[in-house]
Amino acid sequence: MSDKINILDYETVELDTDTNELVIIDQTKLPGNIEIVRLKSAQEIWDAIYLLKVRGAPAIGVAAAFGLYILATQIKADSFEGFYKEFVKNKEFLNSSRPTAVNLSWALNRMDKLACTMKEFSIDEILEALKKEAITIKEEDIAVCKAIGEYGLTLVKPGDGILTHCNAGQLATCKYGTATAPIYLGHEKGYGFKVYADETRPLLQGARLTAFELQSAGVDVTLICDNMSATVMKQGKIDAVFVGCDRVAANGDTANKIGTSVVATVAKHYNIPVYICAPTSTIDLDTPTGNEIKIEQRPDTEVTEMWYKERMAPEGVKVYNPAFDVTDHELIAGIVTENGIAYEPYTESLKRMKNI
């Protein structure tokens, strides 16, 4: 029998170094079943990311880094050139699994950069270095999320009402989450936050994942439908909005789960600050504004059928299903990173956060 007590006792993403397998919680099965899956092939890893078995920008990055290492161990080559050709093929394949979260390409590029510095080394030495790098990416994520939590906690006070959208929780990272990190750290200190979790249509990350993990941690969490955020804001129940993000453009425009910009627009109306919690790895200074961020489009069936006992839309109806939207930087009160909180003008402050 498992000695694990709740979902937060499980690792979101793990590398089994004995078998060279990627070990994840299948998040499509939550909250009903905690199912651990082991992945080894390129297609299995790609599918797990595309199907959101592992999801959330930082967790995708860590999974991809482990995945690239695992696939590298399967390459049969006796020269660096032969090895690297296959390595790049694997990298490009994994990178094609989801387009919006920059952490995916960030982690893969970091692994690639390392491989490129090791042309003179043996394949075994390269593999050892790649394994270490992927493990470091995971360990850094834990420290980064904790630091985001500490900065984020300075923005709220005991008893505050906090609204969050989608899941930027532990399940989206390796520990603490980003948007949930201030909540978890405050909870440890007895802050008594009242958290409202948007259910987050169409894939219900708020209902299935955020409500689940916060409840497991003993946080006071209330689930609402996406169209109820204006009501709770108007009723004075919300003091701050904390959300995660998948890519921050150089001007502070931020892509996050579809519906985030609706929440931010309504929050502006009610004078409630919206804080984006983002590791600096999610800041993409090569993308000037939100207009250039590629938004993932997902299948119609997520809107028309998924989660329902029977189809809830007429056959053949046109469906538009963008997975993310862009919140304009004017709607954002601050971007909380592991290096501090960035404020307007973001073109300046984001560079400082990235230490450039």
Tell me which residues touch ligand MRU (CB under 6 A).
52, 55-58, 101, 166, 168, 172-173, 177-178, 205, 244-246, 256-257, 323
Count of residues for the chain? 356
Which residues is 104 bridged to in the sheet? Answer: none
- Shortest Cβ 28–ligand MRU spacing (Å): 10
The three state secondary structure string of the chain is CCCCCCHHHCCCEEEECCCCEEEEECHHHCCCCCCEEEECCHHHHHHHHHCCCCCCHHHHHHHHHHHHHHHHHCCCCCCHHHHHHHHHHHHHHHHCCCCCCHHHHHHHHHHHHHHHCCCCCCHHHHHHHHHHHHHHHHHHHHHHHHHHHHHHHCCCCCCCEEEECCCCCHHHCCCCCCCCHHHHHHHHCCCCCEEEEECCCCCCHHHHHHHHHHHHCCCEEEEECHHHHHHHHHCCCCCEEEECCCEEECCCCEEEECCHHHHHHHHHHCCCCEEEECCHHHEECCCCCHHHCCCCECCCHHHHCCCCCCCCCCCCCCCCCECEEEECHHHCCEEEECCEEECCCHHHHHHHHCCC
User: Of 256 and 349, which has the nearer Cβ to ligand MRU?
Assistant: 256
Catalytic (active site) residue 124: no
User: Which of 242, 209, 281 is closest to 54 using CA atoms?
Assistant: 209
User: Of 130 and 224, which has the nearer Cβ to ligand MRU?
Assistant: 224
User: Of 172 and 283, which has the nearer Cβ to ligand MRU?
Assistant: 172
User: Of 168 and 183, which has the nearer Cβ to ligand MRU?
Assistant: 168
**Among all residues, whose Cβ is closest to ligand MRU?**
244
Yes or no: say if 21 and 209 are a contact pair by the CB < 8 Å rule.
no
Q: What are phi and psi of 327, to 5 degrees?
A: -90, 125
User: Of 101 and 130, which has the nearer Cβ to ligand MRU?
Assistant: 101
- Shortest Cβ 166–ligand MRU spacing (Å): 4
User: Of 80 and 327, which has the nearer Cβ to ligand MRU?
Assistant: 327
- Shortest Cβ 245–ligand MRU spacing (Å): 6
Catalytic hit among 246, 253, 284, 325: 246
User: Of 105 and 173, which has the nearer Cβ to ligand MRU?
Assistant: 173
- Shortest Cβ 9–ligand MRU spacing (Å): 19
- Shortest Cβ 290–ligand MRU spacing (Å): 14
- Shortest Cβ 15–ligand MRU spacing (Å): 20
- Shortest Cβ 64–ligand MRU spacing (Å): 13
**Who's near 205: CB < 8 A, 6+ residues apart?**
55, 166, 167, 257
Catalytic residues, which ones?
A: 246
